[in-house]
Structure 1
Amino acid sequence: MPNHEKIYDQEASQYHELIARQPELRGIIEEIRPLDGGLDIVDMGAGTGRLTTVLAPGAKSIVALDAAEAMLKITAERLQERGLTNWTTQAADNRKLPLPDRSADLIVSGWSICYLTNSNVPEWEHNLEGIIGEIKRVLRPGGTVVILETLGTGHETPSAPDFLQPYYARLVNTYGFSHRWIRMDYSFDDLSQAERLARFFFGDELADEVIRQQLVTLPECAGVWWLQV
């Protein structure tokens, strides 16, 4: 399996090429928390701006946080290209947000929290408790958090990896999140691109399956969890 931490630090551009093949998520988030009225928004684990760039227009302010400076550089470039000025980026750990108490109306986190809260990580329960505590500290009363994570790449219906299932269960059973699932299929230009990007991020087994099945569209399921504080 490829080293994702290395990818985020050293191959951010190719990572962005991959996720740019997935659907936009503004509509999914707006179903949970209407975005009109100008919100102060935080994007935890913003990466290359998948969520930041679609939420920034119309926001009062948006802060993009990520552990990898290389990812945030791409986010900043994309926001600058759009002529937006209501944003900032900052390197940060999800367990310690560099933000004041009660400073956000909406916090989003896409495919990020799982790196600290999967069952392969020592003290993952403690990490999750700390992250949820930070989210609740930063959100204003009535604020909303929306978390997105994988429910299986190469699957047409949810098939969460075993090491993520305890984390997902705890979001619902311990912290009271609501949840649903959506399709986030990758739509590639051709088989060559599909194979190259699948091998780059997901590894040889999935890339070989892409070739075997001639998958120009690679199925992906994602979970959406949300909570109002």
Structure 2
Amino acid sequence: MSIFDERASQWESKGRRVELARDVVNSIIKYAEPEKDIDIADFGTGTGLILLGLADYAKTMTGYDTSRGMIDVLNRKAEEAGLTNLTTEFLDIEKDTFPENAFDLLTCSMVLHHVDRPEDFFSKAYRSLRTGGKLCVADLELTDVPFHDVAHEGVKNEGFSENWLIETMKKYGFSSVKVVQGAVMEKERNGEKINFPVLLAIGTK
């Protein structure tokens, strides 16, 4: 059982996670300007905070995750809400292939810092989008002070720079690439509250 399976049932008990997802969703709506009635996929969907936040824009919603515990929570939420256009699938974004030419909007929030080779994700994501589709990736900005505690389980990257995101997305074919501050996370260190920016990178196929 992974750490995410263990935490799934209590994942949303931390208010900052819910607030972060809300802010990221609002930034996606503001800067990516999604159309209505589109097919949306969320990779590393967790309990579906991003995906469900975009439900008003979706014809279909697909949530992918490596944690069956998280998927179980999302499935329960969808059932309780009476959503019939949401499906979930177990998928490892590092090892598995993505459906090709399948989606109009693809989102991935606070996931890539857990991935060994995040650049591979952009290559797969590009192929998974339809022409004109958009990718929205939200993750920590690389700063001098790391967000995570030392040796935090599963953390492979402490964040990403704006330049790296732009260059990587362009490298794999995305156009109209832009990076904005999508949210801010506050964390206390040694009695001091520090704001950590979360970048939102947007690109079009």
TM range (shorter): 0.7 to 0.9
Q: Which residue number corresponds to residue 180 of structure 1?
A: 180
Q: Which residue number corresponds to residue 104 of structure 1?
A: 103
The yes-or-no answer on 1:223 pairing with 2:199 is yes
The yes-or-no answer on 1:80 pairing with 2:79 is yes
Shift of residue 185 of structure 1?
4.2
Distance in 2, matches of 1:58 and 1:179, equals 22
CA gap of 1:182–1:58, structure 2 versus 1, over 3 A, is: closer
- RMSD value over aligned CA atoms? 2.8
TM-score by length of 2: 0.77
Map Cα deviations across residues 99-141 of structure 1 (whole Å, 9 max, x no partner).
4321100000000122114xxxxxxxxx334211110111001
Which amino acid letter does the alignment assign opposite residue 223 of structure 1?
L
Shift of residue 145 of structure 1?
0.2
Pick from 165, 168, 187 the counterpart of residue 171 of structure 1.
165
Report which of the two structures shows the higher radius of gyration computed on alpha carbons: 1
The yes-or-no answer on 1:148 pairing with 2:144 is no
Map Cα deviations across residues 30-67 of structure 1 (whole Å, 9 max, x no partner).
12333333110110000111101111233010100011
Identity %: 21
Shift of residue 11 of structure 1?
1.5
CA gap of 1:151–1:109, structure 2 versus 1, over 3 A, is: same
Shift of residue 28 of structure 1?
1.0
Shift of residue 92 of structure 1?
0.6
Whether the 8 Å CA contact 1:52–1:75 is kept in 2: the answer is no
Stretches of structure 2 lacking an aligned partner (at least 5 in a row): 148-156, 171-176
Which amino acid letter does the alignment assign opposite residue 12 of structure 1?
A
Distance in 2, matches of 1:174 and 1:185, equals 24
The yes-or-no answer on 1:116 pairing with 2:115 is yes
The yes-or-no answer on 1:53 pairing with 2:15 is no
Shift of residue 23 of structure 1?
5.7
- Secondary structure of the corresponding residue to residue 184 of structure 1: strand
Distance in 2, matches of 1:28 and 1:21, equals 12
Distance in 2, matches of 1:52 and 1:79, equals 11
Distance in 1, matches of 2:169 and 2:185, equals 29
Map Cα deviations across residues 174-220 of structure 1 (whole Å, 9 max, x no partner).
3334211143346xxxxxxxxxxx8xxxxxxx4x74xx45x7xx844
- Secondary structure of the corresponding residue to residue 139 of structure 2: strand
Q: Which residue number corresponds to residue 13 of structure 1?
A: 9
Aligned pair count? 187
